Amino acid sequence: MTASTSSWLREQARPTHRLLALGVTAGVVQAVLLCFGAWLMAHMLAQAVLAGRKLHELWPGMVALLVLALVRFTLGLWQRRMTFEAGAQVSDNVRNALEQRVRRLGPDWAVQQASGDIVTRSVDGVQALVPYYAGYLPQLALTALIPAVILLAVMPADPWSALILLLTAPLIPLFMVLVGGVAERASQRRWSRLRRMGARFMDALSGLTTLRLCRATGREEALLAASGEAYRLETMAVLRIAFLSALVLEFFTTVSIAVLAVLIGFRLMWGTLGFEQGLFVLLLAPELFLPLRTLGTQRHRRMEAAAAAEDLITLLGTPAAETSSRPDSAAARRNTFATRQVALTFDQVSFGYEPARIVLEDLNLRVDAGTVLTLVGSTGSGKSTLLNLLMGFASPQRGRILANGKDLATLDMPSWRQHMSWVSQRAHVFHGSLRDNLLMAAPTADETRLQHALRASALQAVVARLPQGLDTPLGEHGQGLSGGERQRLALARAWLRDAPLLLLDEPTQHLDAATAVKVDIAIDALAVGRTVIRVAHRLHALADDARIAVLADGRIVETGRVADLRASKGAFAHLLAADRAA
Amino acid sequence: MSGKPSDSDSSLVVLWRLFGLLRSQRGWMLLGLAMALLSTLSGIALMAVSGYFITSMALVGAGGVAINYYTPAALIRLFAILRTGGRYAERLVTHEATLRMLARLRVWLFGRLVPLAPAALVELRSAELFSRLRADVDALEHAYLGVLIPLLVALVVILVVMATTVVYLPTLSLPLLLLFLLGGALLPVWMLRQSRVPGAIVVTCNETLRALAVDGLRGRAELALYGAEDAHAAKLSAVAARLRQAQRQLDRLQALGSGGVMLAAQLAVLATLLWGVAAKGGGLLAGPGLVMLVLFVPAAFEAIAPLPEAWAQLGTTLASARRIFTLADTPVPVPEPGPPSPPIDRYDLRMRGVRLRYGAQSPWVLDGIDLDLAQGRRMALVGVSGAGKSSLVGVLSRLYPCEGSITLGGTSFDAWHGDDLRAQIAVVEQRPYLFDASLRDNLRLARPEATEAQIQKAIELAQLSDYVASLPQGLRTWVGEDGIRVSGGEARRIAIARVLLADPPILVLDEPTEGLDAGTVTRLYAALDAAMKGRSVLLITHRLGGLAKLVDDVATMQQGHIIECLPVADYLNRLTLPETSPTR
């Protein structure tokens, strides 16, 4: 665990110091009660064995022992409750911070997280923090405090035994640090190897079809057996050292008890020590080492929390791109946007995700209200970026984008966004019902509008097929939607939103031709009367009179009607030829 | 290994089968158990003898008769050493046994799953089921260390305690046994029962949180655009709160379980004191015996302390074992005939009335396919998505069972062993799987003995030379999860190189250009052209496009039928309106 991870973990505990302190205090009180109980026990046994007291003379002590046991039990529950709440609070805080972070990083960043792996890992990671704060951290404090309490109790009873314990007890952490350093490094290596070997096995299972097709299953089986064997030999070599730290702890615990018992026994025989005192020490001796042993069983919690923390630090520490942060000033918030018609002007707009990677450069473009403009260009020419700028997911470094003459940079973003709908290449289906998925675009829409949107986007047949209709859960745990159905879902959202500006980012890219045609028909109906910017890739399917703009190297290099540009042998004709060749 | 385990199978049967699988490791398992018993019992004996010893010595000091103090003092030292060394040996031996089992289990499971893939393995397709399989394998691997050892050790310790009390103080046996059962079995089992509901809530909430996290990432643009970010955050908080509440309940139950064992231990001490003092008063028990028992009992409870955890693990282990056995016992979808596969000299492929469906109630995906692919012919198979094209690949590679007849060179598919057949018919998958291994190993998959020269030639033909040259470590570059990311087009070309190395007479390509941009597709054509030289080819696509140049015939598939098969020129001529044609 690196120093920064360690300090991050400590930092997160700050708001819960009170809870943790209460938990640790409860632990210390239990140790005090334990000492008292041991004394009571030693006292009663001495009375019974040496003074020959009978049961009826000793019952008050028995009752006291019973009460002590119950109080310790209750305190133990209370301690767990305090430290659990501490862990819960930390994980809630971190989860909220994460959500805020992802929100600030914005859609542009989110899209780049191709696998989404780090975020799903962070969900589990946040969970892994709980046992660390609820278990490991308080136990760490108790490991220092409880032995001190016990030593203080032993001291007046038998200074010699206290001395022996005092000499051995600090040696344990020392030896454990010495051996444990080696052992921990070794066991971390072991964990990472174990993980890798597990990964290899799962890798083989994921690729089983490919293995069969390549007739490589027999070989893979032999490899798995061999790697398991190699792993065993390697791991055992490591473990022989790793277990030394446990051996040290065990050795000191056992040997000091043995030495104490023998020494106490002889001093009892010589009459230099009272039986009650001797027994008291012997009863307490194993308890001295118990916290340390418990800590050992919780070490994996720290390792897991540290591994999670590294992921979380990466996520929480990702610098927010300049491009996605915009001034959220009060002035902008007042500058709301409200209209039924949107005309757009790009005025010398330049944009790059990094200074060295310019995507758009001095781009000029006008889109009149109520017209349809189709953007074409090769992959990476900046078509999607242009849409991102319009949606406010990124801001131009130079130049202005005007909506009805108002600079986007000065507008209240939420009110501007209310004026647009967007259909992407692959619409996202959210966890929840189909209704939830539709209503997110227009939370106040009533049943009539909903039905209209379903009709217009040809989703009715899909709804009829779903077992619970609109309330069928969708997503990984629910019904799946095909590519075409997802796109129609996005269209239905756009219908519900009924916004004057419609942005279409290759909405039929991932559909087969027949489905694409159906979706295109639905799009045409939606486009009527709206300002539409459509990024297209099926150049052959473009109507002759469609107005297009050709993007290349971050600029608009050609604009005009499809029929004219096709004939002109310019950039568009070139793209068309390349597309035909494919 | 007969009989299919189901939920109705008793736990013992499942456990018996699990450890039966590991029969070869019995020696190590028993040795580990012996070591665990040795160290645990030594620890208990150490405390007991110490108590006996100091009380005897105190009695001597108080004016009693001299005793032989050498023996107990020596015993104390002996038990201390046995305890320490025994614990170390126990750890080493039990881990040795676990590692041996782990290797054995994985190889066993792999061997069982191979003939099931992919037709009968839904698990490998869903990320969620896959991760459950992973967790199941992990759980089985810890069955010995986490379940078997603690349960057996506790059992033996209880027996030893019972035997001891019967000798020294028979009246104490029953109360102690009750307390052992209470702390070690009743309480933990009750706790497990109580945990079921909150435990299930925790699982669902975690799944929902993961789904919401994915929503927050993939759907971030929609959330931002529709002003739904606050609502999303609120949903997240609500699920987190529900999760928290369930976890709180679980934590309390766990605290109750572990606290309960401790309480039981203290009550046991109290009981010992009670009965012991009474017996002492009645002259039935001497002082040293009394103190010995008082120290002996709590030490014995140390063997009970791990039980709540072990019971919990037993539950998960059994559930995992049931799932794994059910999976491993799935009937093999395509039975393999015994060797040898028939010798052939022609590679004509002929399908007659081939039908396939994925479930007994499902619609037919292939519904009477008649198709002839003569040796050396190149045929494209076109059709909209869902027409059943990819299912045909599964049938041709003999990974899916089908009705009807397929013959290769006049011999029935049924007479062929799958591996031999796949040596004749190689498939370039739509999404080829790249293994977490070096690029070279990924290429050599179908032909491990390939020479460097052969690999280089395949790379060249698959148009991968530039790509390999651009990699800092060339063929040694690690690909897959831990390595570099490979784009769809690169993966496809790697798969083509794989097939070129395998050098089969018949080649099946599944959607080779799907999802690739125009530049990549152009490069791929060259690779495909090279791959097809001198082979029969079945090229499956929903978008013929430039692929038309690579084939002789075009077969059109619709709803599980081949509706027509034409020479490519005739097919293209018939497309009167290429601009709006559905195949464009």
**Could you tell me if B443 and B458 are in contact, meaning their C-beta atoms sit under 8 angstroms apart?**
yes
Chain B residue numbers with beta carbons less than 8 Å from the beta carbon of A582 are: 513, 518, 521-522, 545-546
Same domain, A153 and A12: yes
The verdict on A402 and A458 lying in the same domain is no
The reply to whether residue A247 touches residue B220, judged by beta carbons under 8 angstroms, is no
Three-class DSSP category at A552: strand
Q: Are A41 and A108 in a shared domain?
A: yes
Nearest CA in chain A to B70: A262
Q: Mutate which of A214, A324, A474 to disrupt the B interface (most B C-beta within 10 Å)?
A: A214
pLDDT digits (tens, 9 = 90+) for B361-402: 777 889 999 999 999 999 999 887 667 787 888 899 999 989
Instruction: Tell which of A433, A463, A498 closes a domain.
Output: A498
The confidence band for B582, taking pLDDT boundaries of 50, 70 and 90, is very low
Q: What is the pLDDT of residue A117?
A: 63
Would you say residue B572 has pLDDT above 50? yes
> In this complex, do B522 and A581 lie within 8 Å of one another by their Cβ atoms?
yes
Residue B63 sits at the chain A interface (C-beta within 8 Å) = no
Exposure class string for B492-521: b at 16+ Cβ within 10 A, else e: bbbbbbbbbbbebbbbbbbbbbbebbbebb
CATH number, domain of A371, equals: 3.40.50.300
pLDDT value of position B255: 92
Look at the domain B349-580 and name its fold: Rossmann fold (3.40.50)
List Cα–Cα distances, B432 to A150, B103, B480, B487, B518, in angstroms.
64, 27, 12, 11, 20
B135 touches chain A (CB under 8 A): no
Whether residues A456 and A468 share a domain: the answer is yes
pTM: 0.80
Mean pLDDT lowest among A101-115, A514-528, B463-477, B522-536: A101-115
> Minimal CA–CA distance to A436: which of A427, A426, A445?
A445
Between B241 and A541, residue with greater pLDDT = B241
Is there a contact between B255 and A200 if contact means CB atoms under 8 Å apart? no
Task: Read off the tokens for A576.
Answer: 């068309």
Q: A282 and B263: CB-CB below 8 Å?
A: no
Decide if A421 contacts A502 (C-beta within 8 A).
yes
Nearest Cβ partner for A110 among B88, B220, B584:
B220
CA A498-A500-A504 angle, to 5 degrees, is: 85
* Mean of pLDDT values over B325-350: 87
Which of B287, B299, B448 has its CB closest to that of A219?
B448
Say what the pLDDT of residue B455 is.
93
Residue where the block lists tokens 């070139």: A574
pLDDT above 50: residue B78: yes
Q: Are residues A534 and A484 in the same domain?
A: no
Q: Would you call B522 an interface residue with chain A, using a CB distance cutoff of 8 Å?
A: yes
- pLDDT at residue number A246: 77
For residue B518, list chain A residues with Cβ-Cβ distance below 8 A.
378, 578-579, 581-582
Q: What is the pLDDT along chain A (582 residues), one digit of tens a residue?
A: 577 888 899 899 999 999 999 999 999 999 999 999 999 999 999 999 988 888 889 999 999 999 999 999 999 999 999 999 999 999 999 999 988 888 888 887 877 665 556 666 777 888 889 999 999 999 989 988 999 999 999 999 999 999 988 887 777 667 666 655 666 666 666 666 666 666 778 788 888 888 998 889 998 899 888 888 888 888 888 778 778 877 887 888 888 888 899 999 999 999 899 999 999 999 998 888 888 888 877 877 888 888 888 888 888 877 655 444 455 556 666 677 777 888 999 999 998 877 777 888 889 999 999 899 999 887 777 888 898 899 988 888 889 999 998 888 888 888 899 899 998 887 888 888 889 999 988 888 899 999 999 988 888 888 888 888 888 888 654 556 777 788 889 989 998 988 999 999 888 876 767 777 888 888 888 888 899 999 887 787 788 888 999 988 888 888 999 888 888 888 888 888 777 665
Beta strands in B256-402 (DSSP E): 349-356, 366-373, 378-382
Contact call for residues B381 and B392 (beta carbons, < 8 A):
yes
CA distance B281 to chain A (A): 6
Give CA separation, A442 vs A141, A361, A438, A570, in Å. Answer: 53, 35, 7, 43
Give CA separation, B492 vs A211, A336, A393, in Å.
16, 50, 34
Question: Mean pLDDT throughout B285-306?
Answer: 92
What pLDDT was estimated at residue B290?
A: 93
Position A221 in a domain:
no
Q: Are residues A104 and A161 in the same domain?
A: yes
pLDDT at B583 over 50: no
> Is 60 exceeded by the pLDDT of residue B584?
no
Q: Kindly tell me if the per-residue pLDDT of B474 is higher than 80.
A: yes
Give chain B positions within 8 Å (CB) of A69.
Answer: 263, 266-267, 270
Domain boundary among A498, A529, A563: A498
A20 neighbors A140 (Cβ within 8 angstroms): no
B222 and A216: CB-CB below 8 Å?
Answer: no
Residue A170 shares a structural domain with residue A99: yes
Averaged pLDDT score across all residues of chain B: 87
SS (H, E, C) A432-457: EEHHHHHHCCCCCCCHHHHHHHHHHC
Is pLDDT larger for residue A249 or for residue B311? B311
- Residue of higher predicted confidence among B275 and A194: B275
d(CA B540, CA A159): 88
Q: Quick check: is A209 in a domain?
A: no
Domains: count for chain A:
3
A417·B91 Cβ contact <8 A: no
- B238 — pLDDT class (breaks 50, 70, 90): very high
CA atoms within a 13 Å half-sphere pointing along the CA-CB vector of B260:
23
A100 to chain B: closest CA residue: B233
pLDDT of residue B44: 95
Q: Are residues A451 and A465 in the same domain?
A: yes
Distance of CA A124 to the CA centre of its chain: 6
pLDDT of residue A76: 96
Q: Which residue has the higher pLDDT, A317 or B580?
A: A317
Distance CA B501, CA B496 (A): 9
A220 found inside a domain: no
Portion of chain B with pLDDT greater than 90, in percent:
42
Strands B536-541 and B506-510: parallel
Contact yes or no for B535/B505 (Cβ under 8 A): yes
d(CA B177, CA B172): 9
Q: Which sequence spans correspond to the domains of chain B?
A: 11-328, 349-580
Looking at the structure, do residues A413 and A424 belong to the same domain, yes or no? Answer: no
For chain B, positions 523-582, list CB contacts with chain A under 8 A: 542-543, 545-546, 578-582
Instruction: For residues B415 and B328, give the distance between their C-alpha atoms in angstroms, rounded to a whole number.
Output: 25
d(CA A426, CA A481): 11
Mean local confidence (pLDDT), B241-260: 93
C-beta atoms of A257 and B244 within 8 A: no
Q: What is the pLDDT of residues B43-72, one digit of tens each?
A: 999 999 999 999 999 998 887 777 888 899
pLDDT of residue A93: 93
Task: Output the pLDDT for position A146.
Answer: 93
Q: What is the per-residue pLDDT for B484?
A: 65
In a domain, A377, yes or no: yes
Same domain, A357 and A289: no
B11-328 fold: ABC transporter transmembrane region fold (1.20.1560)
Q: Is A11 in the same domain as A150?
A: yes
Q: Which of A213, A290, A337 to mutate to test the interface with B (most CBs of B within 10 A)?
A: A213
Predicted local distance difference test score (pLDDT) of residue A151 = 92
Residue A325 is predicted with a pLDDT of 43
Asked if residue A334 belongs to a domain, the reply is no
Flag whether residue B228 sits within 8 Å of chain A, measured between CB atoms: yes
Residue A77: domain span? 3-194+236-320
Residue A428 to residue B287, Cβ atoms within 8 A: no
Chain A contacts in chain B segment 85-124 (CB below 8 A): 87-88, 91-92, 95-96, 99-100, 102-104, 106-107, 110-111, 113-114, 117-118, 121, 124
Closest CA to B35 of B139, B133, B156: B156
Q: Is A77–B252 a contact, with Cβ atoms under 8 angstroms apart?
A: yes
Q: What is the pLDDT of residue B262?
A: 93
Task: Say if A429 falls within a structural domain.
Answer: yes
Contact A76 B255 (CB under 8 A): yes
What is the arithmetic mean of pLDDT over B89-100?
92
Q: What is the pLDDT of residue B186?
A: 93
Tell me what pLDDT residue A80 has: 95
Report how far residue A243's alpha carbon sits from residue B88's, in angstroms, rounded to the nearest whole number: 7
At B405 the pLDDT is: 93
Largest CA distance in chain A: 119
Three-state SS at B448:
coil
Tokens 């893979």 sit on residue? A220
Tell whether A222 is covered by a domain.
no
Give the ipTM.
Answer: 0.84
Which CATH number do you get for residue A145?
Answer: 1.20.1560.10
Measured distance CA(B75)–CA(B292) in Å, rounded: 14
Residue B246 has pLDDT above 60, yes or no: yes
| Best to test chain A binding among B122, B141, B277, B507 (most A CBs inside 10 Å) | B277
Query: Sorting pLDDT into bands at 50, 70 and 90, what band is B75?
Result: very high
**Phi and psi (nearest 5°) for B117?**
-80, 145
B46 touches chain A (CB under 8 A): yes
Percent of chain B surpassing pLDDT 70: 93
CA-to-CA separations, B28 to A161, B22, B34, B98, B313, in angstroms, rounded: 41, 10, 10, 9, 21
pLDDT at B456 over 50: yes
Of A65, A261, A279, the CB nearest to B270: A65
User: Distance (Å) from the C-alpha of residue A496 to the closest C-alpha of chain B?
Assistant: 11
Residues from chain A contacting residue B285 (CB–CB below 8 Å) = none
User: Of A263, A290, A320, at which residue does a domain stop?
Assistant: A320
Task: Indicate whether A484 and A535 sit together in one domain.
Answer: no
Cα–Cα dist B541/B557, whole Å: 10
